[in-house]
Amino acid sequence: MNNTPTILEKVDMSRPGFKGYQLEQNFSSKKFGKCPIQYVLEGDQEKSRASIILNPNEQWCPSPAEALQCALTRITGTDDKELAKEIIDRAISAMPMANGKEHNTNVVYQSLSNCEPKDSLEAKLCAQCTALYAQGMLYLSRVEKADMMCQIEFNMKCAIKLLRLHNETTEALARYRRKGEQKVVVQHVNVNDGGKAIVGNMIS
């Protein structure tokens, strides 16, 4: 099965004034919001074609390949095309396979677009959060379907570990975005003559 992405064009390359590739007019802005890219599988399993649909509001590009690369680098916050592809491919491969490649690819695209990473490290953390959440919720859904107590306990433990790691990764992303800035709280205490003041935590 060939899942090599191609570009669906809506432009006539032979027309006068052709500037480049602007993309598919059927892009669903309501469904995908500001995400500049969408992955679509067409045909049956034996003869399927993977297509990349880009938001028609995106900039013109001289070729389909460049249009795709522009979208991938934009949602990963990096100018390195190979690194952008690597981050996205790794994230997709870490998603639950039961959902199918089309669903997983679009979830990764949308998640990265919503996170708006400023560099490759933020993109990696965003990708990790997406995969950890998906896998954690998958195990959590299996708890309801399990018949034996050992299966319930196994799925619950896996879900807890994955979702805890998801939370830790989210916190790591937040700390990185703050660039280590610390919050300082200054309190004013008025003490009258002859009085005493205690600065610190009080335990009663």
**Predicted local confidence at residue 58, as pLDDT:** 55
Hey, what are 189's tokens?
């205490």
The two three-digit tokens of residue 15, written as one number? 């027309």
Residue 78 CA: distances (Å) to CA of 23, 71, 119, 160: 22, 11, 5, 32
Higher pLDDT, 196 or 10: 196
| 3-class SS letters over 97-114 | HHHCHHHHHHHHHHHHHH
H helix runs in the chain, sequence order: 29-32, 64-76, 81-93, 101-115, 120-145, 149-178
pTM exceeding 0.85: no
Strand partners, 38: 53
Picking from 99, 107, 169, 103, the residue whose alpha carbon sits closest to that of residue 132 is 169
| pLDDT, position 71 | 82
Q: How far is CA 113 from CA 6, 47, 77, 118, in A?
A: 20, 30, 9, 11
Burial of 127 (0-12, 13-18, 19+ CB in 10 A): buried
Q: Is the dihedral of CA 81, 170, 128, 53 positive or negative?
A: negative
Residue 27 has pLDDT above 80, yes or no: no
pLDDT computed for residue 146 by the predictor: 86
pLDDT in tens, 79-109: 898 999 999 999 999 999 988 888 898 899 9
